[in-house]
Amino acid sequence: MSDESRIFWVNSNSDAPSTSRDEKTLLGLSVDDVLPSTTRMPLREQFTKHYSQIREWLTAHAERPGVTLLAMSADALHGAAFLAAKPDLVSTATIGRHSKADLRLKDDASLSLRHVALLLFPYRAPVRSCRYRLLDLRSATAFVDERGKRLRALEADGPAFVRVGNYTLLVFATIGADAPWPEDPDAGWAQIPARLYLDEVETDEKSNQWEAESDKAWEVDDLPSLSSSPTLVHNVAGPEMAVHELVDENETPYGELLITSSRGVATVILGRRAVQSGILLGRSRRCDAGRVLADRTISRVHLLIIEIAGVLYAIDTASSNGVFDHDARERTSLLKPGTSLSLGDVATVEWSAR
């Protein structure tokens, strides 16, 4: 069935360049024309080169609250997606190399099959912003922001630009009443507000672990003054590593997952911080309960469980054989006490609150 709230386009005639860089910064103002210098072309030049296509997409979907994501390189605009905001449910998209990915970027072998998820928060007027989260799905490389810093997740309600593998991703939130995009590329670039990056977690690797939490880098009173209203881009925690305890010391358990398959039964007890960061289920070693779900019909990354705006969701991460709620295949399901979901036809996941 066609879903007009989710629109995707992929340029099948494009190839991707190669890049690599990483560095540490606690807070930075975006430089107007810079992603890491190893991109073949600076960000501003990429934007202006492909501006006619970018403008076409942004203009076509400007009248509805939602988020537009565009994937580009120096050579081409490789793909685009639009998610319309819904009043009571998150909207989602999965980006990666897999043929089932909503936005398939297949020409870069450094990308995981299911690399990142875009989650658009529920939206209700008269709120003047659409908030979204870009979430790494425990890939090997995560993504890199404009400062060259490696992130596992970010949240924003305005533009944010990151590098995923060899692609630059541009994310624009719209509220249906935005200023029109001008025809001139330089004027279009000037219309984008500055991005101010705030680190709520630190993401340096330590002993091959992905991330360690830290205090917020800056308090509100410490922020530098800006000449225009910036987009605040928050670096937040991504999904927990499968080897981590999913309940912090001295934390009251929030609930538990009962996972059943022909290979056995597993109970995963979750704390509140874990569900806010995200839990991944699948047969990959980067997922929780991987041994119980080690069936070839279960995708490597099959299901994301995450709390968004105080509501717990189960999100199909572009799995091959689907997630079912009472025999209906669902992209997104609300997880309430007693909810039972089927992963393909070989496993069930049941949620119980504590």
pLDDT tens track for 176-186 = 767 899 999 99
Residue that wins the pLDDT comparison between 23 and 202: 202
Q: What confidence score (pLDDT) does residue 235 get?
A: 85
Looking at the domain 255-353, which fold is it? Tumour Suppressor Smad4 (2.60.200)
Fold matches, 6-235 and 255-353 = yes
Q: What confidence score (pLDDT) does residue 34 get?
A: 40
DSSP assignment, residue 206? B
Listed in sequence order, the residues at least 6 apart from 301 whose beta carbon sits closer than 8 Å to its beta carbon are: 112, 113, 114, 137, 138, 280, 282, 284, 286, 287, 317, 319
Q: How far apart are CA 283 and CA 64, in angstroms?
A: 37
Categorize the per-residue pLDDT at 234 as very low, low, confident or very high, splitting at 50, 70 and 90.
confident
Q: Which residue has the tokens 């979901």?
A: 341
- CA distances for 169 relative to 17, 54, 149, angstroms: 14, 12, 15
Report the amino acid identity of residue 280.
L
Q: What confidence score (pLDDT) does residue 282 get?
A: 93
Q: Of the candidates 94, 105, 107, which has an alpha carbon nearest to the alpha carbon of residue 136?
A: 94
Beta strands 279-281; 303-308: pairing state:
antiparallel
Q: What confidence score (pLDDT) does residue 216 get?
A: 32
Domain locations in the chain? 6-235, 255-353
Q: pLDDT (tens digit, 9 = 90+) per residue, 108-164?
A: 999 999 999 999 999 877 777 899 999 999 998 999 998 888 999 999 999 999 999
Q: What confidence score (pLDDT) does residue 177 get?
A: 66
CATH of 6-235, one of 3.40.1190.20, 1.10.510.10, 2.60.200.20, 3.40.50.300: 2.60.200.20
Question: Cβ-count burial of 334 within 10 angstroms (0-12 exposed, 13-18 middle, 19+ buried)?
Answer: middle
Report the amino acid identity of residue 177.
A
Q: What confidence score (pLDDT) does residue 205 get?
A: 42
- Return the minimum-mean-pLDDT range out of 18-27, 48-57, 219-228: 18-27
- CA distances for 306 relative to 148, 160, 161, 192, 255, angstroms: 27, 22, 23, 30, 12
282 with 289: CB under 8 angstroms? no
Greatest pairwise CA separation for the chain in angstroms: 60
Q: How far apart are CA 313 and CA 89, in angstroms?
A: 9
Listed in sequence order, the residues at least 6 apart from 190 whose beta carbon sits closer than 8 Å to its beta carbon are: none
pTM, full prediction: 0.84
Angle value at C-alpha 290, between 289 and 293, nearest 5 degrees: 90
Q: What confidence score (pLDDT) does residue 198 get?
A: 85
Q: Which two tokens stand for residue 264?
A: 């056995």
Q: What confidence score (pLDDT) does residue 3 get?
A: 61
Question: Cβ-count burial of 237 within 10 angstroms (0-12 exposed, 13-18 middle, 19+ buried)?
Answer: buried
